């Protein structure tokens, strides 16, 4: 059975659609009175000439509908007896023979619980019926250019008519803030899915620790991890994996993953699985030959200590900005300990001296998108950040990257890049690490790498 049909089957049989129905209901509750929302699915993207990238559904559309096909549009009408209409690709035996099965109008109702469904070909002609007589429209411009144009054409025609024919919405609202806030607070069911995504990725990292050895290519490590993820039910990776040996680990978004791994080097792997649309995001750094050098271990211990402290900091009440500042303070102290920086911590922070070795955030929201939806700030000026609350999922991923040609760093540390990343859900009285299954303890890593399972 092909991957697409496995995915469809799971989607239809699981409780996933009920879950989405609940999310849709909460979205409707949050909509203003007398409003209608138009939420488009993603489209297939050309990879080369006439072939496409593997399709990935738009996260907001997925969150509300669970419908897995491209080119659909959800129309959600607040206050209507049947508020949820899906416009979908119609059944078409010839197209389905060439390009794969379609749910069609019948499947959209039967399997995806739309109140009503129509062919997407009818959407443009139905716009007047959908919009006329409603005060507000929820729609996000500048994502789907073609749909933007369809809507603008409708509004242009209405203006030309001087609104004689009907009364279109006079207020257009971006639904992103509502959806972002909803997606930021995960339900118990979502956490369950994210735990599965976390477990699958963690096991893939364990496999890598068992299999990596000098002479292997980074590409082989990437391949064995991704094969494992799919084998365990993930639809694939949640983002392009980073598999960097030696100095490649100092390039933050190194995705070429095509160099041989050298004895004596470290390998940094940042790889996560996507399960039922949800991402996991794990980084582990370990020695290619199974044994840290003294210098590697010194840098590793600094990053690990910061990571553990920042996990402890990811609790109710602490804010996102506070956590970032905390990570900067701890890492600056660590850089001083290693002899990378000299001076007073306060001055080094003020001068942003740490940026030479630590230049990214300590973490981000995680969910359907790896860098998930939801605002980090509570004010428009982005000066006050949100306090953490139960159900928020965050990564914790401090790192140190010492450029190979950095003449000011002790020679023994040059070219070392280390990041350690876990996914944490904030709970009422602490947090839960969703990716704890793969160790980051250096002694345990060495034991695992040198153990009997390694062939």
To the nearest whole angstrom, how small is the minimum distance from the Cβ of residue 421 to Mn ion? 5
As a whole number of angstroms, the distance between CA 223 and CA 302 comes to: 30
Residue 175 DSSP class? S
**Active-site residue, 364 included:** yes
Instruction: Identify the CA nearest to 283 among candidates 365, 395, 444, 170.
Output: 395
Q: Report the residue number, 247 or 421, with the smaller CB distance to ligand GLY.
A: 421
- The tokens for 212 are 């990596």
Instruction: Answer yes or no whether residue 282 interacts with ligand GLY by CB under 6 A.
Output: no
Residues 384-443 that bind ligand GLY (CB under 6 A): 397, 421
**Active-site residue, 174 included:** no
The half-sphere exposure of 7 on its side-chain side, counting CA atoms within 13 A, is: 22
Q: Report the residue number, 155 or 313, with the smaller CB distance to Mn ion.
A: 313
C-alpha of 179 from chain center: 15
**Active-site residue, 379 included:** no
Of the residues 397, 413, 422, 423, only one is catalytic, namely: 397
Of the residues 89, 140, 323, 419, only one is catalytic, namely: 419
As a whole number of angstroms, the distance between CA 223 and CA 225 comes to: 5
Please give the residue ranges that form the binding site for Mn ion (CB under 5 A): 270, 281, 395, 421
Q: Is the dihedral of CA 88, 91, 92, 97 positive or negative?
A: positive
To the nearest whole angstrom, how small is the minimum distance from the Cβ of residue 241 to ligand GLY? 8
222 binds, among Mn ion, ligand GLY, none (CB under 5 to 8 A by kind): none
Residues 13-52 that bind ligand GLY (CB under 6 A): none
As a whole number of angstroms, the distance between CA 271 and CA 281 comes to: 6
As a whole number of angstroms, the distance between CA 308 and CA 102 comes to: 47
Instruction: Answer yes or no whether residue 270 interacts with ligand GLY by CB under 6 A.
Output: yes
Residues 78-107 that bind ligand GLY (CB under 6 A): none
- The tokens for 147 are 């749909």
Single residue of 370, 409, 425, 426 touching ligand GLY by CB under 6 A = 370
Residue of this chain nearest to ligand GLY (CB atom):
270
Q: Which residues are CB-contacts of 407 (< 8 A; sequence separation ≥ 6)?
A: none
Q: Name the burial class of residue 449, with classes exposed (0-12), middle (13-18) and buried (19+) by CB atoms within 10 angstroms of its CB.
A: buried
- The tokens for 117 are 């469904």
Q: Report the residue number, 158 or 280, with the smaller CB distance to ligand GLY.
A: 280
Single residue of 7, 55, 154, 239 touching ligand GLY by CB under 6 A = 239
**Active-site residue, 58 included:** no
Of the residues 118, 354, 401, 413, only one is catalytic, namely: 401
Instruction: Identify the CA nearest to 417 among candidates 270, 262, 288, 252.
Output: 252
To the nearest whole angstrom, how small is the minimum distance from the Cβ of residue 163 to ligand GLY? 48
**Active-site residue, 50 included:** yes
Total residues contacting ligand GLY by CB under 6 A comes to: 7
Q: Report the residue number, 136 or 284, with the smaller CB distance to Mn ion.
A: 284
To the nearest whole angstrom, how small is the minimum distance from the Cβ of residue 201 to ligand GLY? 11
Q: Is the dihedral of CA 227, 286, 399, 433 positive or negative?
A: positive
To the nearest whole angstrom, how small is the minimum distance from the Cβ of residue 243 to ligand GLY? 12
Instruction: Identify the CA nearest to 174 among candidates 405, 373, 422.
Output: 373
Q: Which residues are CB-contacts of 399 (< 8 A; sequence separation ≥ 6)?
A: 283, 303, 358, 360, 417, 418, 419, 420
Q: Report the residue number, 336 or 437, with the smaller CB distance to ligand GLY.
A: 437
Cα Rg, the chain, nearest whole Å: 25
Residues 299-318 that bind ligand GLY (CB under 6 A): none
List phi, psi (to 5°) of 261: -90, 135
Instruction: Identify the CA nearest to 322 among candidates 335, 313, 331.
Output: 313
**Active-site residue, 397 included:** yes
**Active-site residue, 96 included:** no
Q: Report the residue number, 57 or 241, with the smaller CB distance to ligand GLY.
A: 241
**Active-site residue, 281 included:** yes
Of the residues 274, 364, 422, 423, only one is catalytic, namely: 364
239 binds, among ligand GLY, Mn ion, none (CB under 5 to 8 A by kind): ligand GLY
To the nearest whole angstrom, how small is the minimum distance from the Cβ of residue 77 to Mn ion? 37
As a whole number of angstroms, the distance between CA 246 and CA 140 comes to: 43
To the nearest whole angstrom, how small is the minimum distance from the Cβ of residue 371 to Mn ion? 7
Instruction: Identify the CA nearest to 248 among candidates 404, 397, 440.
Output: 404
**Active-site residue, 360 included:** yes
Binding mask 116-145 for ligand GLY (x = CB under 6 A): ------------------------------
Give contact residues for ligand GLY (rule: CB under 6 A): 239, 270, 281, 364, 370, 397, 421
Q: Which residues are catalytic?
A: 50, 253, 270, 281, 360, 364, 371, 397, 401, 419, 421
């Amino acid at each position: 059975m092909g991957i697409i049909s496995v995915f469809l089957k799971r989607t239809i049989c699981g409780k996933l659609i009920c879950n989405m129905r609940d999310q849709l209901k909460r979205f409707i509750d949050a909509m203003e009175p007398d409003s209608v929302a138009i939420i488009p699915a993603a489209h297939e993207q050309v990879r080369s000439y006439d072939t496409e990238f593997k399709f990935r559904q738009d996260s907001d559309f997925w969150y509300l509908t669970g419908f897995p096909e491209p080119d659909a549009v959800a129309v959600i009408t607040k206050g209507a007896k049947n508020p949820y209409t899906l416009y979908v690709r119609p059944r078409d035996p010839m197209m389905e023979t060439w390009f794969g099965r379609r749910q069609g109008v019948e499947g959209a109702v039967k399997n995806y619980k739309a109140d009503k469904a129509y062919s997407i070909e009818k959407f443009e002609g139905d716009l007047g019926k959908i919009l006329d007589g409603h005060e507000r429209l929820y729609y996000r411009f500048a994502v789907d250019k073609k749909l933007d144009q369809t809507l603008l054409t409708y509004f242009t025609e209405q203006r030309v008519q001087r609104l004689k024919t009907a009364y279109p919405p006079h207020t257009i609202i971006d639904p992103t803030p509502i959806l972002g806030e909803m997606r930021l607070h995960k339900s118990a069911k979502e956490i369950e899915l994210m735990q599965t995504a976390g477990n699958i990725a963690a096991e893939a990292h364990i496999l890598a620790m068992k299999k990596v050895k000098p002479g292997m290519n980074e590409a082989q490590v990437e391949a064995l991890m991704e094969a494992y993820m799919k084998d365990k039910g993930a639809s694939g990776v949640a983002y392009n994996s980073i598999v960097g040996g030696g100095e490649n680990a100092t390039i933050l978004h190194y995705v070429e993953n095509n160099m041989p791994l050298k004895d004596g080097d470290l390998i940094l792997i940042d790889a996560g699985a996507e399960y039922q649309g949800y991402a996991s995001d794990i980084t582990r750094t370990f020695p290619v030959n199974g044994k840290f050098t003294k210098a590697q271990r010194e840098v590793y211990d600094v990053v690990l200590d910061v990571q553990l402290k920042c996990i402890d900091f990811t609790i109710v009440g602490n804010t996102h900005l506070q956590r970032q500042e905390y990570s900067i303070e701890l890492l600056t102290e660590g850089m001083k300990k290693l002899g990378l920086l000299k001076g007073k911590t306060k001055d080094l922070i003020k001068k942003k001296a740490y940026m030479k070795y630590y230049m990214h955030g300590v973490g981000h929201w995680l969910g359907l998108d790896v860098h998930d939806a939801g605002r980090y700030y509570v004010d428009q000026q982005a000066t006050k950040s949100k306090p953490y609350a139960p159900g928020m999922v965050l990564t914790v991923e401090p790192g140190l990257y010492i450029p190979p040609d950095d003449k000011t760093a002790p020679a023994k540390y040059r070219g070392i890049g280390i990041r350690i990343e876990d996914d944490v859900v904030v709970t009422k009285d602490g947090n839960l690490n969703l990716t704890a299954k793969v160790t980051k303890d250096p002694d345990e890593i060495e034991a695992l790498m040198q153990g009997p399972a390694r062939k």
